[in-house]
Structure 1
Amino acid sequence: MGFQDGKIVLDSPNNAYYSGQTIHGRLIFEQDKQKTFRGIYARMRGYCNVHWTSDHTRKVDDRSESYTVEHSSHEKYIDHKVFLAGGKSGEHHLNPGKHEFPFSINVPYTCPSSFEGSYGHVRYELKVVVDRAFKIDKEISAPIKIIAPLDLNKEQYAKDPIALELNDVYCCWCVMSGTSETLVKLPVTGYCPGQVMPVEVNCVNKSNVDIEKIKITVKKEITFRAVCNPGTNTERDTVLEVKKGPVPANSTRSWALQLDVPAMDIYNLDSCSHIDVNYELKLYVFLKMN
C-alpha cells in the first residue's frame, strides 16, 4: 500500500487525445501512514528523437580503421508541469487513508501525432511524481497517444487529379521492336483509410513484344533527418499493390479498378522537423521474357 501502488485515471478510455484537447485525469492512491513530501506534480512531455549509426573506415598510419558515427536529432513539443499538492519548496504532509487529486493539462494545437519508426519516434509521456527532499523521487506513469487531425478537405493538393504516364521503347539485338504507352489516372490525390480509389489504367502496346503484367503500387516512405552528424535515413513499405495484364503485342487493354485503401494509422507530422511520412504512386511495366 502506498503511492507506487496507485494509478492515474484519465477521461479517455484508450488514453488517446487530439492536439488542442485538454487531458483531464485523477491521481488515486492509498497509504497506511503519514508521508512527508515537498510536492506532488503531474508532468507531460512530448518530443521527437531520431537516431541511427553508420559504419565507416579511415586510414590511420597506412592501415584501415573502422569507426561508427552516431546520427541524431531531438525536438521538444511540450514539457508542462502542474502541482497537485505542495510546491517546489517547503515541507508538506499527507495523512493515512485514500487520496485523490484531479489535474488537467492542455495539449498544444501544434503537437504532431505520436509515431514509432525504425530510426526515430514522436512520443508523449505523462508522469505523476512525488518530490521528496533529500530522497529519491517516486513516480507512476500512464501512456499517452496524441492524434494530430489531418483534414484533406483543407489541403489543396489533395483535390488535384493524378495522371501517371510511362512510355517505353523496346529493342531486340539492336533492332527496334516498337513502343508502349501506359497511362494511370486518378480523379484526386488525397484518400483516407477505408476509402475506395477509382483507378483508370490504359495500355497501348505498339510493339512486337508481349507485356506480361502492369503493376501499380502505393508506397509509404518515411524519411528521418539527423542534425547531429547530418544525414538522412529512409524506411519504406508497400501499402497497396495491384497487377493487371497481359497486354499482347500490337494491342490495347484498359481497366477500371476500384481499390480499397487499407486500414492503417495516418500520421500528421507537419510540425515535426525531423520525420516526414509520404505516400507515392508507382507504375511498373514488365515484358514477357521468352
Structure 2
Amino acid sequence: MPANIRILFDNHYATFYAGQTVTGRVIVTVDKPKKLRAITINFKGEAEVKWTETERKKDSQGKDYDDQVIYKATETYYENKYHLLGSESGEIELNPGEYSYPFTCQIPISVPSSFEGEHGYIRYTVKATLDRPWKFDQESKAAFTVVAPLDLNTLPQAKEPIEFEKVKNFCCLWCKSGPLTLTVKVPAGGFVPGQTIPFQVEIENGSNIRVRPINCVLRKEVTWHARDPIHKTQKTKTTLGELAVDDEVKPHESKSFSKDIIVPAIPPSNLANCGIIDLEYILKIEAVVSGFHKNVSARIPVVMGTIPLLTGPTAYKPGGTAVVQPGQPSPNPASPAKPAQLPSPTLGLVPIPTPSLSPAPAPAPAPAPGSQVGGGWNLPPAAAPSTPPSTNPSTAPSAPPLYPQLPPPSYEESIWKGNSIKDSTDNEHTMGIQDFTPRYPVWTFDPVAPPAAQAP
C-alpha cells in the first residue's frame, strides 16, 4: 500500500492576506518501511488564461477547413521549493508510523487575489512530494486563498456619490417624440461583500413611449488576455444579482424607485498585479421601452473592496452575527491566534519587509525510531500510528488592527463553483486533487436605506 500524504493548513479557512505567512504540516503515514530520497514541498502562485476558438482557414490547395486554435497566457508570481526531509542524493528509510513535518512560506506582498473563472484562474498551491528512488513519486496537492487587501477608505472614488443621467429622444415615423430621461443615483462608489448597494432610479418620460419594466443588474465583467499564438482578448459577463421593477411609466409621466442589491462573496477589484485578467464590477440599470426602439440604460462601475467605508451614508454599521460556513470556527477577535500585520504600504498598513521565501532547511540524516528529524516526528513502531503533535492552529485569517471598531469578517466561499486544481505538472498518483473555491471576506451590515426618492 502506498504511503498516505496529507497537507493540513494551520489556518482552517486556508485563507491568507498578501504578505502573510502560510504555515501548516505535511502528514505522512506509512504501514511498512519506505525508502526515499527526500520529502519536498513546493509553493506556487500563478495565473493562466486559456480558451479555444474554431477558425475557418484554407489549406495549401485553397480548400476551407475548421481549425481549433488555443489561445493562452500564463504568469508566475512566485515559486519556492525546499526539502522537509533528506536531499536529492542519498537514501532514507521511514519505519511504519505517522510523521508530521511543519512547513512555512511567506506570500509576496504584491500578488493579486485568488480568482477562478470561465477561461482561467489566479491560483496559489502547495505540493508535497515523496521522492522515491526507482519508483513513481507520491504527491499531495492543496490550494489556498490569497486576498490582496483593498481598503475603500483610501480610495476617493469609493467615497464619492455617483449620479448618472441619460437622455434619449425617439422618432416615431414623421414626428419626433419628447425626451426620456433616466437618472441613477448611488450614494457611494465602493462596497464590500455582505453589503447592499442602495440606489435610486428616476424616470422622466416626456416621450410618447411606454416604459416597462426597469431591469437592475449587478454583474462582473472579466477581460481575458491571451499572448499565444497572438495577443487576443475575450470578455465574459456574469450576473451577481438582479431585480426588475415592473411598474409602468406611461407617456408624459415621471416615477422614482429606491432599490438595493446585496453584494455576494466575490474577489476585490484590485487585480492590478495580474497582467492577463482584468476584473470589473458593473451596476446596470435598463429601462425597457415599447415598440422597436432601443432600450435606455446606465452602466455604472463600482469598486469592490475588502475593508468597508467608515464614513458617509454607506459607512459600516455592524449588524447581527458573522455568517460562518457550517463546521467552520468563528473568526473571534478574542482568538488566541495573534493577528499578523496585513502588509500593503499603498493602503496605509504596516509593511512587512520582503524576505527570501522560506530557505530550504539543511538535509537531514536518516531518521531513527523515536527521534525528531527533518522538522517532523518519527514515531517508533510500538507507538505508531499516532496523532501528530498539536500546533494550536489559528482558526481564521487575521487582518490588522487598523480600525478597532471593526469586528472581523467571515470568510465565505465564492458564489462561483470552483475548478479542478490539477495541471500538467501533476501525475496520476497525486493525492488531494479536487475542485477549489476561493474564500473572500464578507461583512455583516445593518440595512442601509437607498437615497431618498423625491416626489416627481
TM-score normalised by length of structure 2: 0.59
2: distance between equivalents of 1:113 and 1:135? 37
Residue by residue, what CA displacement relative to the aligned partner does 1:14-59 show, whole Å, maximum 9, x if unpaired? 3222222212112223334443322211111121111111111223
| Conserved? CA contact 1:166–1:283, under 8 Å | no
CA distance in 1, matches of 2:44, 2:163: 43
Q: How does 1:116-155 map to 2 (within 5 A)?
A: 116-155=116-155
CA distance in 1, matches of 2:66, 2:290: 46
Q: Distance in 2 between matches of 1:212 and 1:13?
A: 49
Say if 2:206 is the partner of 1:206.
yes
When normalised by structure 1's length, the TM-score is: 0.90
Report the 3-state secondary structure (helix = DSSP H, G, I; strand = E; otherwise coil) of the residue aligned with 1:150. coil
Residue aligned with 2:41, SS? strand
Change (3 A) 1:194 1:15: closer
Counterpart-to-counterpart distance in 1, 2:159 and 2:242: 22
Shift of 1:180: 1.4
Aligned amino acid, residue 218 of structure 1: L
Structure 2 unaligned runs (5+)? Answer: 293-456
Partner of residue 76, structure 1: 76
Residue of structure 1 equivalent to 2:266: 265
User: Distance in 2 between the 1:159 and 1:259 partners?
Assistant: 18
Q: Which is richer in strand?
A: 1
- Native 8 Å contact 1:162 1:185 kept in 2: yes
Could you list the per-position Cα deviations for residues 220-271 of structure 1 after superposition, in whole angstroms to 9, with x for gaps in the alignment? Answer: 111110011211111111223333332222222223x241323222244221
Q: Distance in 1 between matches of 2:58 and 2:140?
A: 50
Q: Quote the Cα distance in structure 1 between the aligned partners of 2:196 and 2:113.
A: 25
- The structure-2 alpha-carbon separation of the partners of 1:52 and 1:40, relative to structure 1 and needing over 3 Å to count, comes to same
1:129-176 CA distance string (max 9 Å, x none): 122334322222233222222222222321232222121112221211
- Which residue number in structure 1 is paired with residue 288 of structure 2? 286
Q: Is the 8 A contact 1:224 1:232 kept in 2?
A: yes
1:238 aligns with 2:234: no
Structure 1 residue 289: deviation in Å?
4.2
Aligned residues: 288
Q: Is the 8 A contact 1:197 1:261 kept in 2?
A: yes
CA contact (8 A) 1:38 1:89 kept: yes
Superposition misfits of 4+ residues, deviation over 6 angstroms: none
Alpha-carbon distance in 2 for matches of 1:172, 1:98:
81
SS at match of 2:271: coil
Determine the structure 2 residue equivalent to 1:275.
277
More divergent stretch after superposition (258-267 vs 121-130): 258-267
Structure of higher RCO (CA pairs closer than 8 Å, 6+ residues apart): 2
Q: Check the 8 A contact 1:194/1:260 in 2, yes or no.
A: no
Q: Which moved more, 1:107-116 or 1:270-279?
A: 107-116
Match for 1:248: what amino acid? K
Q: Give the match for residue 15 of structure 1.
A: 14
1:158 is paired with a residue of what secondary structure?
A: helix
Which amino acid is 2:272 matched to?
D
- The partner residue of 1:253 within 248, 255, 258 is 255
Q: Deviations over 1:98-127 (max 9, x none)?
A: 322212111222222222111111222211
Matches within 5 A, 1:35-46: 35-46=34-45
- Checking the alignment, whether the CA contact within 8 Å between 1:38 and 1:133 is kept in structure 2 is yes
List runs of 5+ in structure 1 lacking aligned partners: none
